[in-house]
Structure 1
Amino acid sequence: MITTIGFDADDTLWQNEAYFRLTQERFADLLRDHADPHRLHERLLAAERRNIGAYGFGVKGFTLSMIETAIEVTEGRVPATVISEILGAGRAMLDHPVEILPHAREAVEALADDFRLVLITKGDLLHQERKLAQSGLGDFFDAVEIVSDKTPATYRQVFARHGTGAAESLMAGNSLKSDVIPAIEAGGYGVYVPHGLTWDLEAADEPADHPRYVNLPDLGGLPALVRRLAVTP
């Protein structure tokens, strides 16, 4: 039985990773004289990985990791103008208009009357609150949880606080690592909605044989799936 539905935000309800990719391309152009793009990407990814514990997820941590990488690859000689360009790119990402993904609004609207909806997302608190407000979807959600990480314990706590427990919940998102697998491990359903662009640190294998795992091509099929599961003994 399903009573509560969790939605991821970035790259599930609205566009996100595409802006990171464009900024990385700009970053590579700025430092082309110091590192080839592939090597620079590896260095940036390593910086992001080791900085997550300190900076968390989101644009601000990404911007700081770019600056750190620029200092490393130039051996401390990165021009102030390049640092300024990186900071400007980060601000542009924070200010970018929200672009709702196809079928997202329709899916949320279709489910809001009959189920508890909870937005569960990682990232910077102020930025995620701003994107939710700009999206126009905020009124459909019964609760919003902006968390530091998504683990089985996170989902158990969120669905106990805002629903009837993880066993009667479903989490829909574009990340197998963050949205699907830990929700299943918590006892709920995990619905994978591929986006096409996925951050390297979110890569994971599909739990294809798990009875509570579902792969949907887009959110358009979510209302029918939820209603089917909600009445399945």
Structure 2
Amino acid sequence: MADIPSAIGFDADDTLWHNERFFRLSQDQFASLLADHADPDHLGARLLAAEKRNIGRYGFGIKGFTLSMIETAIEVTESRVPAATIGQILELGREMLAHPIELLPYAREAVEHAADRMPVILITKGDLLDQERKLAQSGLGDLFAAVEIVSDKTPAQYDDIFARHADGPERGIMIGNSMKSDIVPMIEAGGWAVHVPHDLAWALEHADAPSQAPRFREIPDLGALPALLEGLARVDGD
């Protein structure tokens, strides 16, 4: 019985609501702005390299992405990027920060089902103000017993969060779309982890699935989560 989850964590972006597609749209517009200086593939590689360099400085989220676009524009134009183009890049960032929230299929039902059975924790990384905005607009806020907006997701973070809000990571289960952030570190912390694939994934979130880990699960969408949780409960009852 001690192995059965007593608290559940949900990732937010691209697990409960759409997010990556707004980054992709902005990147396409960014490529159009810089079309005279770099082809889209080269520009995309330079932008990804800038994002990777800047995570430690700016963290995850739209503001860091916007600053990385500006840095990349300066680099590929050899510091000749027009001020007007910098202004357009800043506007792309502002538009992203204002985009409406659209829940993914079954998101509300999955969180409601889980919240009826155990404490539910939102565990997300990114800019504090933007994540708070998205949570408020999602209409899901009242379902969470706790909200954790962190700079990164690591085994130590999961250990701390589930120790403070529940019975420790060994009795926690994390639901998310990112192998690198939601799944692998939770498994390494000793918990359960359920991968819910999303059709878009940021390159820096790729990682191999811990397929041999006994506490790893994968479902096609959040509509399958209630049955998975009920299955674990039945195992407990046996």
**Take 2:233 and 2:12, find their aligned partners in 1: how far apart are those partners?**
23
Aligned residue number for residue 141 of structure 2: 138
2:112 corresponds in structure 1 to 109
Match of 1:223 in 2: 226
Deviation (angstroms), 1:231: 4.5
CA distance in 2, matches of 1:4, 1:150: 17
Q: How far apart, CA to CA, are the structure 2 residues paired with 1:11 and 1:219?
A: 11
Aligned counterpart for 2:186 among listed residues 179, 183, 186: 183
> What CA deviation, in whole Å up to 9, does each residue of 1:111-138 have, x standing for no partner?
1121110000000000000000000000
Structure 2 residue 134 is the aligned partner of structure 1 residue 127: no
Query: What root-mean-square deviation, in Å, do the aligned CA atoms of Structure 1 and Structure 2 show?
Result: 0.8
Cα separation, 2, equivalents of 1:11 and 1:212: 22
The answer to whether 1:82 aligns with 2:66 is: no
Unaligned runs of 5+ in 1: none
Question: AA paired with 2:154?
Answer: T
Deviates more, 1:206-215 or 1:126-135: 206-215
Partner of 2:53: 50
Residue identity in the other structure for 1:168: R
Q: Which amino acid aligns with 2:38?
A: A
In the alignment, is residue 10 of structure 1 matched against residue 16 of structure 2? no
Give the TM-score taking structure 1 as reference length: 0.99
Match of 2:38 among 35, 38, 56: 35
Gaps of 5+ in 2: none
- Return the alpha-carbon distance in structure 2 between the equivalents of residues 208 and 2 of structure 1: 19
Distance in 2 between residues matched to 1:171 and 1:231, nearest whole Å: 19
- In structure 1, the residue corresponding to 2:235 is in which secondary structure? coil
Task: Note the C-alpha offset of 1:230.
Answer: 3.5
Return the offset for 1:27: 0.2
Give me the whole-angstrom Cα distance separating, in 2, the residues matched to 1:227 and 1:82: 53
Q: SS at the partner of 2:103?
A: coil
CA distance in 2 between partners of 1:230 and 1:191 (Å): 15
Pairwise CA distance, 1:18: 0.3
Shift of 1:227: 2.4
TM-score (norm 2): 0.96
Residue of structure 2 aligned with 1:204, choices 197, 203, 207: 207
Name the CA distance, whole Å, in 2 between partners of 1:130 and 1:209.
Answer: 37
1:106 to partner: Cα distance: 0.6
- Partner of residue 192, structure 1: 195
Q: Secondary structure at the match of 1:232?
A: helix
Report the Cα offset of residue 232 of structure 1.
Answer: 2.8
In 2, the alpha carbon distance for the partners of 1:49 and 1:111 equals 35
Cα deviation code 1:125-168 (max 9, x no counterpart):
00000000000000000000000000000000000011111011
Confirm or deny that 1:69 pairs with 2:72.
yes
Cα contact 1:169–1:188 (8 A) shared by 2: yes
Q: Where does structure 1 differ by over 4 angstroms across 4 or more consecutive aligned residues?
A: none
Match of 1:158 in 2: 161
